Chains A and B, each alone.
Chain A
Amino acid sequence: IAGITQAPTSQILAAGRRMTLRCTQDMRHNAMYWYRQDLGLGLRLIHYSNTAGTTGKGEVPDGYSVSRANTDDFPLTLASAVPSQTSVYFCASRRDRSSYNEQFFGPGTRLTVL
């Protein structure tokens, strides 16, 4: 593993189903993020975690939950998927939240909710 990996690459999901998007990084970064990217709306922050054991809400958190049991993994769960959650989801990480340091992005998960 090098950088950030996300799984699955793409998924078609029936409305009402539960889904967990996986994100793993091997850079030992403290801060991790989940974004969704929609045409015309750009990247919007869903949830973030500054360090293992802590999480926070971003701009569009409703319908999503996250956990950060360890440094490397930051799964995003849709408890009961709805069509408006159809989007491309990106996980990102950076060394920590202080000052400036680069935010690295994963390759994304394309999710379609029918």
Chain B
Amino acid sequence: QKEVEQDPGPLSVPEGAIVSLNCTYSNSAFQYFMWYRQYSRKGPELLMYTYSSGNKEDGRFTAQVDKSSKYISLFIRDSQPSDSATYLCAMRENTGNQFYFGTGTSLTVIP
């Protein structure tokens, strides 16, 4: 079993829809949780990060962490065609060098 599981999709939604992206994990020591966006043929770029449990909102994006269920989510409100990309979740223990990434979910927002 991989440390981090993420549904690869693909996910296709109409413009303006609410998108929900999710990851589950097995390591209870993970403390830092991140979402990256990766456009085609580009490197990942950080979108959101949270420490431990809770919610964090940034514009149209909301990240949620439920450590009791080992489950994290990213919500995108009023989705735009420019949101079309692959979204990667990542997480890390409090100490240590390794970031553990999900396989990524491919999202297409149709105008």
The residue in chain B whose Cβ has the minimal distance to the Cβ of A35 is: B101
Report the stretch among A12-20, A63-71, A78-86, A101-109 that lies at the interface. A101-109
**Chain B residues whose C-beta falls within 8 Å of the C-beta of A105 in the assembled complex:** 43-45
The residue in chain B whose Cβ has the minimal distance to the Cβ of A49 is: B97
Rounded to whole angstroms, the CA-CA distance of A12 and B13 in the bound complex is 36
A33, A90, A100: most-surrounded residue (chain B CB, <10 A): A100
CB distance from A60 to the nearest CB of B (A): 11
Size band of the B side of the interface? 20 to 34
B98–A42 touching, CB < 8 Å: no
**Chain A residues whose C-beta falls within 8 Å of the C-beta of B103 in the assembled complex:** 40-42
A43's partner among B8, B49, B101 (CB-CB below 8 A) is B101
A106–B43 touching, CB < 8 Å: yes
B51–A103 touching, CB < 8 Å: no
A45–B98 touching, CB < 8 Å: yes
Within 8 A of A (CB), among B51-98: 51, 88, 90, 97-98
The residue in chain B whose Cβ has the minimal distance to the Cβ of A31 is: B97
**Chain A residues whose C-beta falls within 8 Å of the C-beta of B4 in the assembled complex:** 42
Within 8 A of B (CB), among A36-85: 40-45, 48, 50, 56, 58-59
**Chain A residues whose C-beta falls within 8 Å of the C-beta of B102 in the assembled complex:** 42
**Chain A residues whose C-beta falls within 8 Å of the C-beta of B97 in the assembled complex:** 31, 33, 45, 48, 50, 56, 58, 97
Rounded to whole angstroms, the CA-CA distance of A59 and B46 in the bound complex is 22
B42–A102 touching, CB < 8 Å: no
**Chain B residues whose C-beta falls within 8 Å of the C-beta of A100 in the assembled complex:** 32, 49, 51
CB distance from B92 to the nearest CB of A (A): 8
CB distance from A102 to the nearest CB of B (A): 5
A107's partner among B6, B8, B42 (CB-CB below 8 A) is B42
Rounded to whole angstroms, the CA-CA distance of A48 and B98 in the bound complex is 9
B43–A90 touching, CB < 8 Å: yes
Rounded to whole angstroms, the CA-CA distance of A63 and B6 in the bound complex is 28
CB distance from A16 to the nearest CB of B (A): 28
Q: Which residues of B contact A (CB under 8 A)?
A: 4, 6, 8, 32, 41-46, 49, 51, 88, 90, 97-99, 101-104
